[in-house]
Amino acid sequence: ETGVTQTPRHLVMGMTNKKSLKCEQHLGHNAMYWYKQSAKKPLELMFVYNFKEQTENNSVPSRFSPECPNSSHLFLHLHTLQPEDSALYLCASSQERRPYEQYFGPGTRLTVT
Amino acid sequence: DAKTTQPPSMDCAEGRAANLPCNHSTISGNEYVYWYRQIHSQGPQYIIHGLKNNETNEMASLIITEDRKSSTLILPHATLRDTAVYYCLGGKLIFGQGTELSVKP
């Protein structure tokens, strides 16, 4: 595998379910990011991790819980989501010193029913 | 809020240069301008970035005005595969609505 991979690519979950999104980067980067892209809306930065430490949380509801066990892996744990949380969730990585040069994964298309 | 403004859409003929403008009059002197594009149903792709000088890479050229209030991304020979939404970012990781570029045969 090369670049940034995300699994699953598609996910349908009920509002009472618990699920996790996984992101893995094979680029030797040390910063990782979660974004949300809703229909007809711009990308929204959710979380930033540098060297496994969370450095940014853009007022994301607690039903989204990120985890970064090492510099190559990033998870987004989901629980008791709402239908308006349906969106494309994108993971990206970069060198910590070059946050403007990010490499994105293909995204997970999430539908909350 | 995004620090940049872009036209919502543009058309370009295949094989011609596509010139995408961006206004970023409020960015500070040490903030970079960077460009991404997003092809439908894919993750965004980094294109290029610059601070003061014009930049060129294998994908595009970036022309930044001397006062740094605006810039232009140039795709020298647009192809159908360049059809995408192009985002200009200024200083912060805030994506606006971007410019939807349609390259037509």
pLDDT digits (tens, 9 = 90+) for B35-71: 999 998 889 999 999 999 899 999 999 999 999 999 9
| pLDDT at A100 (0 to 100) | 87
Q: Select from A45, A90, A105 the Cβ nearest to the Cβ of B93.
A: A45
Please answer yes or no on whether B45 and A104 come within 8 Å at the CB atom.
yes
Q: In what order do the strands lie in the sheet with B55-56?
A: B18-23, B70-75, B61-64, B55-56
Cβ A12 vs Cβ A19: under 8 Å: no
| pLDDT at B2 (0 to 100) | 58
Query: What are the backbone dihedrals phi and psi of residue A76, each rounded to the nearest 5 degrees, phi first?
Result: -130, 110
pLDDT confidence band for A2 (50 / 70 / 90): confident
Please answer yes or no on whether A42 and B97 come within 8 Å at the CB atom.
yes
Residues of B in contact with A107 (CB under 8 A): 42-43
Q: Bigger pLDDT: B73 or B92?
A: B73
B57 touches chain A (CB under 8 A): no
B86 Cβ partners below 8 Å, 6+ apart? B6, B20, B35, B36, B37, B47, B73, B98, B99, B100, B101
pLDDT confidence band for B1 (50 / 70 / 90): low
pLDDT confidence band for A1 (50 / 70 / 90): low
Residues of A in contact with B42 (CB under 8 A): 106-107
Look-up: residue for tokens 């995204």?
A: A107
Q: Give dist(CA B72, CA A73) in Å, integer.
A: 35
Site from B55, B93, B97 to mutate, A interface, most A CB atoms within 10 angstroms: B93
A45 touches chain B (CB under 8 A): yes
Q: Mean pLDDT over residues B72-82, rounded?
A: 97
